Amino acid sequence: MSGDPILDEWYPVALVSQLGPLGRDTRLLGQPIRVYWGTDHQPQVSDANGRALPVTCRYGHVWTCPGTPSRPLFDIPEADQPGRRLVDVGVVRVKCSPLRAVENFLDIAHFPFVHTDILGAEPHTEVGRYDVQIRDEVDEVWATKVQFYQPQAAKSAAGGITTEYMYRVPAPTVAVLYKTCPPRPGEWDVITLFVQPLEQDLCEVWPWMALFDDTTSLTDLIHFQQTIFVQDRSILENQLPRLLPLDPGMEIPTRADMTSIAYRRWLKRRGYSFGAQLVAA
């Protein structure tokens, strides 16, 4: 019964497939925790005092909650859809606020400059109008009808195409991307960013994917996603201030930043401040 909006969320703390017999000593929200295999052969998590924390295993990862979960772990229905490949990408440590990692994942305008010739390329830099809402019935942020020119949408694609995206924030440190899937018109590939907040300015990022792709090797899929994220890391570790401002008074958000602003509004309304900066600086 913590009632603290920060403590009562679910956080990713390990990959089930990579949790070794010795377990994993790590941190969550500035506190040490331990992830390990219990006697019932299920992953368990305990805090510094040895107290057992709630655990859910889903989407390849071990999730825990240091307080009392305010709701069950969010649902990604596509994870159970037959025919998808579920890809555990691994972990990347980033010296940035966990909230900045999520915000960056929601951003398309940086594709031509940060992921040049992969996810975007000049002169195709314009961000068209798209829809963003905080969906009260599920308490999530959604951005839909996001379109962007992509020079190489898939390995098989000869030229560029306009790709459609949807973004979803179902928990403060989780972002889910739905992307049109060239081999399966009408379906969406799902790429997620699960962020483990170690400290206010340090996080570990666990990308995960549920794709319709029977041809690309697992190594290539993982390598592709890691390449993208290493490019993002060079941004995330060099933004000022280190924490995510919940007051945009020292920034100049434009319509292309609508998802970022909706995410920050949603954090502000929930009173979620771990990794956030309340006053503009």
Partner 1 sequence: MATEQFLIAGELRADSFLPWIERHIRRLGLHGAASWRADGQVEIILSGPPDLIDAMELGVSLGPIDVWVETVGRRPLANTETA
Partner 2 sequence: MTAAWTPVALARDLPRLGVMPVCVDGIDVALWRSASGRLAAWADRCPHRGMRLSHGFVRGEALSCIYHGWSYGASGSCLRIPAHPDLEPPEAIRVPVHRATENNGVIWVALGDQDNTPPALTGLVPLRSVTVQARAEVIRSASGLAIGADGIARGHLASIAVAVLMQALPEGATVLHVLAEPADPAALIAASRAVEALRRAAESKGAA
Name the one residue in this structure whose structure tokens are 């992830």.
35
Q: Can you tell me which of 75, 122, 131, 220 binds partner 2, judged by CB under 8 A?
A: 122
Return the bridge partners of 47, or none.
33
- What lies within 8 Å, CB to CB, of 9 at 6+ separation is 65, 69, 70, 171, 172, 173, 272
In angstroms, give the least distance from the CB of 157 to partner 1: 31
* Residue 135 binds to partner 1 (criterion: CB under 8 A): no
* Residue 145 binds to partner 1 (criterion: CB under 8 A): no
Q: Can you tell me which of 48, 52, 230, 250 binds partner 2, judged by CB under 8 A?
A: 250
Q: Can you tell me which of 112, 172, 207, 275 binds partner 2, judged by CB under 8 A?
A: 112
Smallest CA-to-CA distance from 208 within 81, 92, 87 is with 87
Among the residue ranges 57-65, 83-91, 161-169, 240-248, the one whose residues contact partner 1 (CB under 8 A)? 240-248
Q: Which entry of partner 2, partner 1, none binds 184, CB below 5 to 8 A by partner kind? A: none
CA–CA separation, 143 vs 133, rounded Å? Answer: 7
In angstroms, give the least distance from the CB of 181 to partner 2: 25
CA–CA separation, 138 vs 145, rounded Å? Answer: 19
- What lies within 8 Å, CB to CB, of 152 at 6+ separation is 117, 118, 160
Instruction: Output 148 or 206, the one with its CB closest to partner 2.
Output: 148
- Please give the residues from 127 up to 166 whose contact with partner 2 meets the rule CB under 8 A: 127
Phi-psi label, residue 83: left if phi above 0, alpha if psi -120 to 50, beta otherwise = left
Q: Which residues of 193-210 are buried (b: 16+ CB within 10 A; e: fewer)?
A: bbbbbbbbbbbbbbbbbb
Q: Can you tell me which of 85, 110, 184, 265 binds partner 2, judged by CB under 8 A?
A: 110
Among the residue ranges 36-44, 78-86, 205-213, 242-250, the one whose residues contact partner 1 (CB under 8 A)? 242-250
* Residue 241 binds to partner 1 (criterion: CB under 8 A): no
CA–CA separation, 103 vs 272, rounded Å? Answer: 14
Q: Which entry of partner 2, partner 1, none binds 127, CB below 5 to 8 A by partner kind? A: partner 2
* Residue 239 binds to partner 2 (criterion: CB under 8 A): yes
Instruction: Output 190 or 205, the one with its CB closest to partner 2.
Output: 205
Instruction: Output 92 or 235, the one with its CB closest to partner 2.
Output: 235
* Residue 88 binds to partner 2 (criterion: CB under 8 A): no
DSSP 70: S
How many residues does this entry show for the chain?
A: 281
